[in-house]
Amino acid sequence: MSERLKPILSHRLFWPLAVLAVMVVANTIYRPGFLAVEVNNGHLYGTPIDILRLSAPLILVGLGMTLVIATGGIDLSVGSICAISGAIACLHISEASDQNSLVTVFTALAMALGAALVLGAWNGVLVSVIGIQPIIATLILMVAGRGLAQLVTEGQIITINSGPYRAIGLGHFLTLPLAIFIALGAALLVAALTRRTALGMIIESVGGNREASRLAGIRSSRMVFLVYVVSAACAAVAGFMMTANVSSADGNNAGLWVELDAILAVVIGGTSLAGGRFYLSGTIVGALIIQTLTTTVYAMNISPQTALLFKAVVVIAVCLIQAPAFRAKFGRRGRGTPPPAAPAQPRQKEEVTA
Amino acid sequence: MRNMRMSLAPRRAVAALAAVLLAGSVAACGNSDTGAGGGGGDDKIVLGFSQVGAESGWRTANTNSIKEAAAEAGIDLKFDDAQQKQENQIKAIRNYIQQKVDVIAFSPVVESGWDTVLKEAKDAGIPVILTDRAVDSADKSLYKTFLGSDFVKEGRLSGEWLVENSKDATGDVNIVELQGTTGSAPANDRKKGFGEAIAADPKLKVIASQSGDFTRAGGKQVMEQFLKAHPKIDVLFAHNDDMGLGALEAITAAGKVPGKDITIITIDAVKDGMQALADGKFNFIAECSPLLGPQLMDLAKKVHAGEEVPPRIETEETTFTQEQAKTALPNRKY
């Protein structure tokens, strides 16, 4: 019996998914209607749909962050890039004579995406060409970027009234929110590019040892540069969703602290912060866990003062339960099976993981 | 090789981090000198003002009101933006003391840690006026007066309106509350004032209360869950307009009519909020006005002339119903 369960238990997504399941079960016990989904105005409507829709921006940011972390880097500037891209798009739309014109919206998106790519390239150059530590290189834009976003919005909240732009955050396709499909599409695209080609392996090898990869014929610097650009692009699209969700751009608060949530999602998903390997599917589950946790606080009406503690406890539990050394010590003691030493496990190549 | 890199990396990161932060603070020092040069001279009153920063539309309106009122009142204003940092603000105040300005006013970034610099101002014989936010100094003689909003009163006015308007209700009135940033003074005080006011009517019950962080996205996300968890919600009380505006979207998406199915009460009265009120989507707003410039200039003149002023002065504020919003909307500055 335990032999048959072993491959399931040792799958790296088992524990994150188990945590997710526990949260859903706890919510359902607290309020039986938690999982109920009904049709409202021809769209599916219910808490699970909310969780999927609200986690879409975090999934996007997390995808980019996963690739950056796989190279041994980190991108702290994604929250600011969300704010900047959202602000540029909303500013352009708010100044247009016809806010509902598709041309206006696409111009706005292109301008904002272009700006984000420039910012991503800036991060990439600082890290790959100049060789600044990623945490410092991206910290610059994390701090200065908020200022940039406020310059764009002039410290005000820009409110827009544009149907097509709103659809990015709130539109529907096949009765489900469009945002879910955007996040899913991005995930599939990144997965196909990295796992159906050698690109993913190259990124991992750069993260494992940049110099050795270079000597082996990989253009390490170019790969490092690219992941920051991709991360910025993902953040830009997430920024569109965040601002479209409330039809307004708030330079101060859009995407605030999303970089930390994204790093957490990546870590919960099993990607090592030291770089060298990455799991896109794990990041997606991580993002879902974080959003479910936030929604749980509201659904159970946990008081705001205790909510932060509650979240911290759950996150610590998730991280501990994921650590093989911790599980070996406390989980399997009774069964007498020898604990597998985590670092000694052979590194297996993963199949497409989205 | 790899191990060595790993062990060195954090140390290097910390050193570089320190360097960046240092550079940041040096740069910040640089721009607090902008007000230097020419203090006094002619017989115009010189007012040194240190602003918190430019973190919101409310704050921008506050800054503009002070600048405009100074120009109108013929007061020479030395303005400094502290960029949310107390050390910048202390530096600015010391600058004003050296320049021998006539009056110093500032919106403290934080409540504590002001005694030393306020003592310096007092010793130099320069009167100090606090605006918008208070300090927790035990020695009240360190400043002349505190001009700002009364958050408890804003909450109370909101609650009183609700009590008045639910007199005819039969059965319980279920209220959900969107709080501001957890632990912030406006969130604590507005909650307190509202709670005290609605205690007058046992029908009024707060069934859920969560923090929406004063943002639209926060208000929306919390309201979505409130609507699913509680089938009968009669009233929404939001600690600011922005959270209320976010909640509007959640209410509409749930197939309910804001302002009719759910009565919405908010605080602030920024332009977008007033628009929603005029459109019938909100029902009541208690104003929290940033336009304290004219009052500040009056006070500056009074304390400069040596007149006695009360230690606590409330900003001139009002409340708005839907009808009042329609009239007031065209003249809103922020």
For chain A, the structural domain boundaries read 2-344
Euclidean distance between CA atoms B208 and B199, whole angstroms: 16
Shortest distance, CA A77 to any CA of chain B (angstroms): 15
Domain annotation covers residue B71: yes
Same domain, B175 and B273: yes
Chains A, B: CB contacts under 8 A, how many? 105
Which pLDDT score is estimated for B126?
A: 94
Report the share of chain B in percent with pLDDT over 70.
86
Q: How many CA atoms lie within 13 A of B215 on its CB side?
A: 21
Euclidean distance between CA atoms A95 and B290, whole angstroms: 26
* B142, B117 Cβ separation under 8 angstroms: no
**Inter-CA distances, B261 with A121, B234, B252, B255, Å:** 50, 7, 10, 10
Over residues B264-285, the pLDDT tens digits come to 999 999 888 999 999 999 999 9
B182 closest CB neighbour out of A31, A135, A304: A304
Last residue of a domain, one of B247, B268, B288: B288
What length is written for chain A? 354
Domain coverage including residue B137: 36-148+291-316
Over residues A218-248, the pLDDT tens digits come to 999 999 999 999 999 999 999 999 999 999 9
Over residues B129-139, the pLDDT tens digits come to 999 888 888 88
Q: pLDDT-based confidence at B27, cuts 50/70/90?
A: very low
CATH number at residue B309: 3.40.50.2300
Same domain, B210 and B277: yes
Which pLDDT score is estimated for A348?
A: 46
CB contact under 8 A, B220 and A246: yes
Euclidean distance between CA atoms A245 and A82, whole angstroms: 13
Which pLDDT score is estimated for B117?
A: 94
CB contact under 8 A, B226 and A143: no
Same domain, B65 and B135: yes
Question: Does the pLDDT value for residue B15 go beyond 70?
Answer: no
Domain annotation covers residue B14: no
Domain annotation covers residue B91: yes
Domain annotation covers residue B304: yes
Tell me, rounded to whole angstroms, the distance of Cα B195 from its chain centroid. Answer: 20
Task: Name the closest residue on chain B to residue A248, using Cα atoms.
Answer: B216
- Angle made by CA atoms A74, A187, A320, in degrees to the nearest 5: 55
**Inter-CA distances, B151 with B180, B190, B266, B286, Å:** 12, 5, 12, 10
Question: Does the pLDDT value for residue B49 go beyond 50?
Answer: yes
Shortest distance, CA A72 to any CA of chain B (angstroms): 10
Mutate to test the interface with B, among A146, A156, A159, A296 (most CBs of B within 10 A): A156
> How many domains in chain B?
2
Report the predicted TM-score, pTM, of the whole model to 2 decimal places. Answer: 0.81
Residues B196-215, mean pLDDT to the nearest whole number? 94
Euclidean distance between CA atoms A9 and B180, whole angstroms: 43
Over residues A123-170, the pLDDT tens digits come to 999 999 999 999 999 999 999 998 899 889 887 889 999 999 999 988
Same domain, B199 and B71: no
Q: pLDDT-based confidence at B110, cuts 50/70/90?
A: confident
Which pLDDT score is estimated for A48?
A: 93
Euclidean distance between CA atoms A217 and A213, whole angstroms: 6
Q: What amino acid occupies position A78?
A: V
CB contact under 8 A, A250 and B216: yes
Shortest distance, CA B137 to any CA of chain A (angstroms): 27
Q: What residues of chain B lie within 8 A of the CB of A250, using their CB?
A: 215-217, 242
Same domain, B142 and B223: no
Question: Does the pLDDT value for residue B159 go beyond 50?
Answer: yes
Domain annotation covers residue B31: no
Same domain, B87 and B200: no
Q: Which class in CATH covers the domain with range A2-344?
A: mainly alpha
Which pLDDT score is estimated for B55?
A: 67
- Which among B217, B164, B81 is positioned nearest to A155, based on CA atoms? B81
Q: Does A274 reach chain B within 8 Å, measured CB to CB?
A: yes
Domain annotation covers residue B11: no
**Inter-CA distances, A179 with A57, A240, B42, B191, Å:** 8, 10, 62, 35
Which pLDDT score is estimated for A352?
A: 45
Which pLDDT score is estimated for B18?
A: 52
* A32, A264 Cβ separation under 8 angstroms: no
Q: What amino acid occupies position B46?
A: V
Q: pLDDT-based confidence at B299, cuts 50/70/90?
A: very high
If DSSP states are collapsed to H, E and C, what string results for chain A? CHHHHHHHHCCCCHHHHHHHHHHHHHHHHHCHHHHCCEEECCEEECHHHHHHHHHHHHHHHHHHHHHHHHCCCCCCCHHHHHHHHHHHHHHHHHHCCCCCCHHHHHHHHHHHHHHHHHHHHHHHHHHHHCCCCHHHHHHHHHHHHHHHHHHHHCCCEEECCCHHHHHHHHCEECCEEHHHHHHHHHHHHHHHHHHCCCHHHHHHHHHHCHHHHHHCCCCHHHHHHHHHHHHHHHHHHHHHHHHHHHCEEECCCCCCCHHHHHHHHHHHCCCCCCCCCCCHHHHHHHHHHHHHHHHHHHHCCCCHHHHHHHHHHHHHHHHHHHCHHHHHHHCCHHHCCCCCCHHHCCCCCCCCCC
Q: Does A179 reach chain B within 8 Å, measured CB to CB?
A: no
Which pLDDT score is estimated for B23?
A: 46
Give this complex's ipTM.
Answer: 0.84
Residues B75-88, mean pLDDT to the nearest whole number? 88
Q: Does A44 reach chain B within 8 Å, measured CB to CB?
A: no
Which pLDDT score is estimated for A334?
A: 47
The sheet with strand B103-106 has its strands ordered as B76-81, B46-51, B103-106, B128-131, B145-148, B312-314
Q: Does A254 reach chain B within 8 Å, measured CB to CB?
A: yes
Q: What amino acid occupies position B110?
A: V
Same domain, B257 and B158: yes
Which pLDDT score is estimated for B35?
A: 39
CB contact under 8 A, B20 and A297: no
Same domain, B178 and B255: yes
* B61, B290 Cβ separation under 8 angstroms: yes
The pLDDT profile of chain A, 354 residues, written as one tens digit per residue, is 566 777 777 788 888 899 999 999 999 999 888 898 888 888 888 999 999 999 999 999 999 999 999 999 999 999 999 999 999 999 999 999 889 999 999 999 999 999 999 999 999 999 999 999 999 999 999 999 988 998 898 878 899 999 999 999 888 888 899 999 999 999 999 999 999 999 999 999 999 999 999 999 999 999 999 999 999 999 999 999 999 999 999 888 889 889 999 999 999 998 988 999 999 999 999 999 999 999 999 988 888 888 889 888 988 888 888 777 888 887 655 444 444 444 444 444 444 444
Q: pLDDT-based confidence at B182, cuts 50/70/90?
A: confident
Q: What residues of chain A lie within 8 A of the CB of B215, using their CB?
A: 250, 253
Residues B141-158, mean pLDDT to the nearest whole number? 93
Residue given tokens 């911290």 in the structure block: A312
Structure token pair of residue B52: 């918190």
Residues B25-37, mean pLDDT to the nearest whole number? 40
Shortest distance, CA A255 to any CA of chain B (angstroms): 10
Structure token pair of residue B228: 């699913």
Which pLDDT score is estimated for A259?
A: 94
Same domain, B128 and B160: no
Which pLDDT score is estimated for A354?
A: 42
Same domain, B299 and B234: no
Task: Name the closest residue on chain B to residue A140, using Cα atoms.
Answer: B20
Mean of all residue pLDDT scores within chain B: 86
Which pLDDT score is estimated for A331?
A: 63
Same domain, B279 and B249: yes
Which pLDDT score is estimated for A301?
A: 87
Torsion of CA B50, B52, B54, B58, to 10 degrees: -100
Tell me, rounded to whole angstroms, the distance of Cα B288 from its chain centroid. Answer: 8
